[in-house]
């Protein structure tokens, strides 16, 4: 059984020294990649280098494994408050650290919605008490995520909101989107969009394509995503601000982002591991466990996402971790809930990009550390002196089979059950404390 510990409820003593020896230290932000040692004192990185000659209270032989900044997942649904039978801050964060993730950004579509200072206070206090990693959250763009009236962004930002989104739902009203950009501009935070034109989606449940035709179910067309992205980028160009596209799934949306970046607009984009690992035909195998929103797309879209990762167009990898209980998934494709769990499989699935020589290791890790940190203005995701001691120790080459029954998440809804993968997190450190060890 893995070992778990709470970094804030049970914090490391301020002067405790831990020396990580014989580690391949990688800092994607500076492209540092050396075998050496890293010393933490309390919750900070004190030093790192080839040979520190340091005395420590504890020494850990890293056996040449990769020691990198802890991963940052800027898209998770921990269902807390409101649906804690599916996940809560304890189980979600346990699941995260088991995947090498040391910081997450929760989406606001909880019950109640994260649209008030009170909900942010709850999240902060509760996660200090029961979470195994750093927990942040986006605030809702609109009150109750109804898409009508803007939330009080200023107060929410002061209460800790790292950006704003109505994820789960798109902001369909263009004028609301315009106002959101205007308000967020002064706060210098992103407006993150779940890009989906609900009229074009027309209650579709999987990608509109060969598989939806074969199964005779309603599909969600690619333009459902891209028309909203094109609209948002037009508004952004006129108004200013920062735009972040959540879980991009189509080549058309990615093209729009490319053009916007070429124009110099302040735009970032993330992709989820399932979208660059699988395509729509996985629905025939995994059924409702391959149903998520946006859906798994065509092979051409998948290739475009991989090309976008390779070229650097895609800034970040984020899971869209969406736990559901059995009842929500043991239904017809049309009736089942959207979403799959992801925090425990992000790293091994993403490492395939490295093993298949699509990205170098620093390039890949940047998309899960310093790049997402920048998107949410977070002081983390790098290895630097006096930086936060949030780290992950990665065994790149261990081959193993994903077993969803062993997930620390309360939910097991994953199309990757029984998948053969290579590489995983073997130890995770949050605020200097070893919070997870395989
Ligand atoms: Zn979404």
Which of 220, 352, 217 minimizes the C-alpha distance to 297?
220
Q: Is the distance from CB of 380 to CB of 69 less than 8 angstroms? A: yes
pLDDT in tens, 71-93: 999 999 999 999 999 999 999 99
Span 349-357, mean pLDDT? 98
CA–centroid distance for 352 within its chain:
17
Span 19-23, mean pLDDT? 98
Q: Does residue 1 have a pLDDT over 90?
A: no
CA distances from 155 to 89, 142, 256 (A): 23, 13, 32
Q: Does residue 154 have a pLDDT over 90?
A: yes
Q: Does residue 242 have a pLDDT over 80?
A: yes
Query: How remote is the CA of residue 228 from the centroid of ligand 1, in Å?
Result: 13
Question: What pairs with residue 221 in β-bridges?
Answer: none
pLDDT in tens, 213-224: 999 999 999 999
Query: How remote is the CA of residue 152 from the centroid of ligand 1, in Å?
Result: 22
Residue 364's pLDDT band (cuts 50, 70, 90):
very high
Q: Does residue 94 have a pLDDT over 80?
A: yes
Query: How remote is the CA of residue 41 from the centroid of ligand 1, in Å?
Result: 39
Whole-number pLDDT of residue 322: 97
Residue 2's pLDDT band (cuts 50, 70, 90):
confident
Phi-psi region of 187 (alpha: psi -120 to 50; beta: other; left: phi over 0): alpha
- Distance from C-alpha of 321 to C-alpha of 96, rounded to nearest angstrom: 10
Span 44-48, mean pLDDT? 98
Residue 365's pLDDT band (cuts 50, 70, 90):
very high
Pairing of strands 420-430, 316-317: unpaired
Query: How remote is the CA of residue 122 from the centroid of ligand 1, in Å?
Result: 23
Q: Does residue 166 have a pLDDT over 90?
A: yes
Catalytic residues: 320
Stretch (H or E) spanning 198: helix 198-201
Span 373-389, mean pLDDT? 98
Q: Does residue 363 have a pLDDT over 80?
A: yes
Query: What percentage of the chain carries pLDDT values higher than 90?
Result: 99
Contacts of 396 (CB under 8 A, 6+ apart): 65, 66, 351, 354, 361, 422, 423
- Distance from C-alpha of 72 to C-alpha of 97, rounded to nearest angstrom: 10
Query: How remote is the CA of residue 24 from the centroid of ligand 1, in Å?
Result: 35
- Distance from C-alpha of 421 to C-alpha of 152, rounded to nearest angstrom: 44
Q: Is the distance from CB of 271 to CB of 247 less than 8 angstroms? A: yes
For the chain, the residue count is 438
Query: For the whole prediction, is pTM greater than 0.75?
Result: yes
Whole-number pLDDT of residue 340: 97
Span 245-262, mean pLDDT? 98
Whole-number pLDDT of residue 360: 98
Residue 347's pLDDT band (cuts 50, 70, 90):
very high
Span 257-265, mean pLDDT? 98
Pairing of strands 316-317, 134-139: unpaired
Query: How remote is the CA of residue 90 from the centroid of ligand 1, in Å?
Result: 22
CA angle 315, 319, 323 (to 5 degrees): 160
Average pLDDT, rounded, for the chain: 97
Span 236-260, mean pLDDT? 98
């Amino acid at each position: 059984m893995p070992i778990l510990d709470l970094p804030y409820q049970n914090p490391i003593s301020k002067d405790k020294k831990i020396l990580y020896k014989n580690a391949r230290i990688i800092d994607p932000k500076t492209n540092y990649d050396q075998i050496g040692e890293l010393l933490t004192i309390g919750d900070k990185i004190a030093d790192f280098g080839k040979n520190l000659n340091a005395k420590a209270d504890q020494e850990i032989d890293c056996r040449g494994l990769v020691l990198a900044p802890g991963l940052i997942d800027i898209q998770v649904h921990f269902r807390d408050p409101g649906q804690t039978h599916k996940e809560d801050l304890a189980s979600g964060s346990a699941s995260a650290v088991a995947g090498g993730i040391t910081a997450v950004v929760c989406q606001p579509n909880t019950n109640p919605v994260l649209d008030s200072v009170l909900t942010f206070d709850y999240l902060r206090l509760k996660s200090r008490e029961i979470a195994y990693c750093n927990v942040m959250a986006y605030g809702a763009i609109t009150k109750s995520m109804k898409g009508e009236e803007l939330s009080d962004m200023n107060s929410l930002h002061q209460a800790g909101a790292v950006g704003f989104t109505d994820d789960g739902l798109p902001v369909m009203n263009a004028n609301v989107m315009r106002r959101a950009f205007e308000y967020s501009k002064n706060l210098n935070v992103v407006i993150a969009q779940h890009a989906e034109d609900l009229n074009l989606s027309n209650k579709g449940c999987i990608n509109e394509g060969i598989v939806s035709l074969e199964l005779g179910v309603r599909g969600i067309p690619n333009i459902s995503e891209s028309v909203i992205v094109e609209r948002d980028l037009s508004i952004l160009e006129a108004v200013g601000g920062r735009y972040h596209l959540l879980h991009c799934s189509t080549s058309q949306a990615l093209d729009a982002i490319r053009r916007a970046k070429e124009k110099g607009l302040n735009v970032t984009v993330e992709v989820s591991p399932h979208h660059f690992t699988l395509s729509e035909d996985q629905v025939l195998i995994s059924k409702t466990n391959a149903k998520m929103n946006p859906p798994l797309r065509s092979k051409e879209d998948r290739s475009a996402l991989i090309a976008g990762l390779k070229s650097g167009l895609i800034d970040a990898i984020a899971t869209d971790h969406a736990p559901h209980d059995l009842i929500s998934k043991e239904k017809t494709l049309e009736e089942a809930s959207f979403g799959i769990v992801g925090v425990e499989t992000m790293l091994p699935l993403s490492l395939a990009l490295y093993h298949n020589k699509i990205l170098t290791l620093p390039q890949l890790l940047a998309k899960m550390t310093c790049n997402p940190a920048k998107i949410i203005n977070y002081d983390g995701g790098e290895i630097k002196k006096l930086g936060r001691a949030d780290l992950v120790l990665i065994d790149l080459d261990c081959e193993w089979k994903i077993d969803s029954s062993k997930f620390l998440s309360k939910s097991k809804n994953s199309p990757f059950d029984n998948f053969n993968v290579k590489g995983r997190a073997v130890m995770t450190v949050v605020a200097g404390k070893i919070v997870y060890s395989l």
